[in-house]
Structures are given as C-alpha cells and as structure tokens.
C-alpha cells in the first residue's frame, strides 16, 4: 500500500507541475491571448485540453473508487441502492405531476421554443424534482436544528 501511495503522490506532483507550466504559459502570453488566434491555439488550447483530461480522470476515479467501496461493503451497497430507489420514486412523482403544456410569458403568449410537448414536460419534472429535494433538505436541516436545541448534551 505504501508503494501505491508513493506512486500516486509522484503522479499528482507531476500533474500539478504540468498544470502550473501551462498556467504560466497562459499568463505569460498576456493580452495577446485575447486578440491573436494563433496564440490562443498554441497556449490556451493545451491548457483547456489538460483541464478536461484532469476533470475526466478525477470523475472516473471518484466514481470508480465509490463503486469499488460499495461492492466491498454489502450493507453500504444496500443502503445506496435503497437511496437511489427513493430518488427514483421522487422523480417519477415529479414527472407524473409535471405539466406538458406550452410555456407562456406573463401575458399568456407562448415564448419562443416553449411549445407543448415532451421537452416542456421534462423541464417541468426536473424543476419539481428540484423543489422536492430542496424541501426535503430544508426539512432535514430544520429538524436537526430543533432536535439539537432540545437535546440534553
């Protein structure tokens, strides 16, 4: 395990140095980055590509290690699947009560690209789903605060 930690530490340091070098190149280019397309292509594009690669790698590693941890712990996997099922049920409820009508402005005129149909229903469902999750989160915070006020310790 110690060997893997050292390798990961060296890899992270190398990636940090590469990122710092790319950032210094962008900063050294100065205002030319804003006006010269060739400078943008040679300085900014590699920096953006490196950033996308790092974001993708980080995402894959985070999801991969989370799944690996869940597979190793059956009880945690069961809780995670139950939580996903509850979230799925909440989304189904939000989708069922979402309106698929046209999107109108305050005067009742249909806005551009706001026609009735599945896109309108999906957007409405996601908005209602966000409301549900926000209300549940707020209720949990309030419950924790009230519970903390009346606890003896």
In angstroms, how far is the first alpha carbon of the chain from the final one? 40
Where exactly are the structural domains of the chain? 2-72, 75-150
Spell out a b/e string for 91-110, using b for 16 or more CB atoms within 10 Å of the CB, else e: beebeeebeeeebeeeeeee
> Would you give per-residue pLDDT tens digits along the chain (153 residues)?
688 889 989 999 999 999 999 999 888 888 777 787 888 888 888 989 999 999 999 999 999 999 999 999 989 999 999 999 999 999 999 999 998 887 777 888 887 776 777 878 888 899 999 999 999 999 999 999 999 888 876
Is this prediction's pTM over 0.85?
no
């Amino acid at each position: 395990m110690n060997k893997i930690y050292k390798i990961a530490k060296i890899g992270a340091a190398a990636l940090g140095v590469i990122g710092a070098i790319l950032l210094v190149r962008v900063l050294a280019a100065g205002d030319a980055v804003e006006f010269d397309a060739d400078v943008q292509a040679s300085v900014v594009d590699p920096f953006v590509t490196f950033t996308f690669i790092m974001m993708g790698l980080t995402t894959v590693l985070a999801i991969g290690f989370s799944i690996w941890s869940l597979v190793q712990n059956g009880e945690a996997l069961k809780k995670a699947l139950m939580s996903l099922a509850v979230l799925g049920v909440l989304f189904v409820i939000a989708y069922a009560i979402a309106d698929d009508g046209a999107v109108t402005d305050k005067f009742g005129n249909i806005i551009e690209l706001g026609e009735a149909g599945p896109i309108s229903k999906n957007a409405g469902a996601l908005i209602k789903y966000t409301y549900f999750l926000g209300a549940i989160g707020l209720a949990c915070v309030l419950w924790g605060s009230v519970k903390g006020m009346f606890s003896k310790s």
